[in-house]
């Protein structure tokens, strides 16, 4: 029997990894400071406008849009103090150029992955300034001429399966899958409601199913760890009730991104695709998720 858990995955840096709720709310956050910094301390309180897509009709335009969006997004997070220093004013903010890669082009739009990092210093009365960082890593995007959907890899539900451990392979994580929903706007206040019902099966060469489950995409990302410990060729199938379906020849190997970065995607128009979300190490899905760390 599978077990569903809601995870807000927090990264290791001081301000890394806030939940979707925090990511949504801090874009227009003005940090409160008590007591206020003295007049000789210059603070940063103004956020930058986050762009909306306009005339995104090429791969380069999609990449450029996401680059600008993520740099400003991370900048605003740091100005707002992230999760730790909300009550402290930023005195310096430095955001690196965003890494962006197009994963797939579809009729009228593009699926991309991005990673962007930034650091900040915060005023601390009576002591030296306090530093922090923000990493928006392996963020998935859909962009077209008028639409942008953003799904971070740090707020998701886990579907945990009782995959038996293989003797002598305790250090090797089983293969995992992801289910993304770019069609349903997320409701982080009611994470167990709404979304699509996606039936996912993984069949082995002998005809036996190693996975047969239903995923409710009430959150835009669901992680399915522990699918199999055995490399090989499998038939990955996914379907929506009375709607689209997709089949994909999945050949997971522990040293290849197919082992951890394969995803079933509910597309922006309500269809289904199977994609490998690992164009490179900079933006691809990480080898390990918080679902696996809590197993």
Tokens of 67: 């680059």
Compute the average pLDDT of residues 260-264. 98
Last residue of a domain, one of 122, 151, 180: 151
Which of 100, 116, 151 is where one domain is finished?
Answer: 151
204 and 89 in a single domain? The answer is: no
Is the domain of 191 the same as that of 264? yes
20 with 138, same domain: the answer is yes
pLDDT bin (cut points 50, 70, 90) of residue 98 is: very high
**56 and 138: one domain?**
yes
Q: What is the mean pLDDT of residues 193-208?
A: 93
Residues 44 and 125 in one domain: yes
| Cα–Cα distance, 176 to 294 (Å, whole number) | 14
User: Are 133 and 192 members of one domain?
Assistant: no
pLDDT at 155 over 90: no
Integer Cα distance of 13 and 7 in angstroms: 18
Looking at residue 295, what is its pLDDT? 54
Same domain, 14 and 141: yes
Give this prediction's pTM: 0.84
Extended beta strands in the chain, E state: 3-8, 90-95, 99-106, 109-122, 130-144, 148-151, 155-160, 175-181, 197-203, 209-216, 221-228, 234-239, 245-250, 262-266, 272-276
The number of residues making up the chain comes to 295
Please give the Cα distance from 82 to 273 (Å, whole number).
Answer: 34
pLDDT, residue 196, reads 93
Number of domains in the chain: 2
- The one-character DSSP state at 258 is G
Write down which residue in 151, 169, 196 finishes a domain.
151
**What does pLDDT average to over the chain?**
84
Residues 129 and 172 in one domain: no
DSSP track, 7-44: EE---SSTT----HHHHHHGGG-----SSPPPTTS--B
In this structure, are 265 and 180 located in the same domain? Answer: yes
pLDDT in tens, 222-236: 999 999 999 999 999
pLDDT of amino acid 165? 43
Residue 168 has pLDDT above 80, yes or no: no
- Residues 66, 30 share a domain: yes
The per-residue pLDDT for 8 is: 46
Whole domain around residue 76: which residue ranges? 9-151
């Amino acid at each position: 029997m599978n077990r569903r858990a809601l995870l807000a995955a927090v990264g290791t840096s001081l301000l890394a990894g806030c939940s979707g709720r925090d990511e949504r709310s801090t874009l227009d956050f003005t940090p409160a400071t008590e007591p206020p910094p003295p007049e000789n301390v210059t603070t940063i309180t103004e956020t930058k406008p986050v762009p909306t897509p306009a005339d995104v009709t090429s791969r380069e335009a999609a990449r450029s849009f996401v680059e600008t969006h993520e740099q400003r997004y991370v900048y605003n997070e740091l100005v707002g103090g992230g999760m730790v220093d909300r009550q402290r004013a930023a005195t310096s903010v430095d955001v690196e150029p965003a890494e962006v890669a197009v994963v797939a082009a579809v009729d009228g739009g593009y699926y991309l992955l991005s990673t962007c990092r930034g650091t900040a210093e915060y005023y601390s009365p009576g002591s030296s300034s306090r530093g922090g960082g923000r990493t928006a890593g392996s963020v998935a995007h859909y962009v077209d001429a008028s639409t942008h959907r953003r799904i971070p890899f740090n707020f998701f539900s886990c579907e945990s399966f009782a995959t038996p451990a293989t003797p002598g392979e305790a250090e090797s994580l089983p293969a995992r899958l992801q289910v993304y929903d770019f069609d349903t706007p997320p409701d982080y206040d009611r994470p167990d409601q709404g979304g699509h019902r996606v039936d996912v099966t993984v069949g082995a060469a002998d005809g036996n199913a190693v996975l047969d489950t239903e995923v409710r995409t009430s959150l835009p990302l669901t992680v399915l760890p522990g699918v199999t410990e055995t490399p090989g060729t499998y038939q990955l199938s996914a379907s929506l009730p009375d709607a689209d379906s997709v089949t994909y020849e999945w050949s997971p190997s522990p040293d290849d991104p197919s082992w951890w970065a394969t995803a079933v995607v509910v597309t922006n128009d309500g269809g289904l695709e199977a994609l490998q979300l690992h164009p490179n190490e900079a933006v691809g899905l990480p080898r390990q998720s918080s679902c696996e760390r809590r197993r």
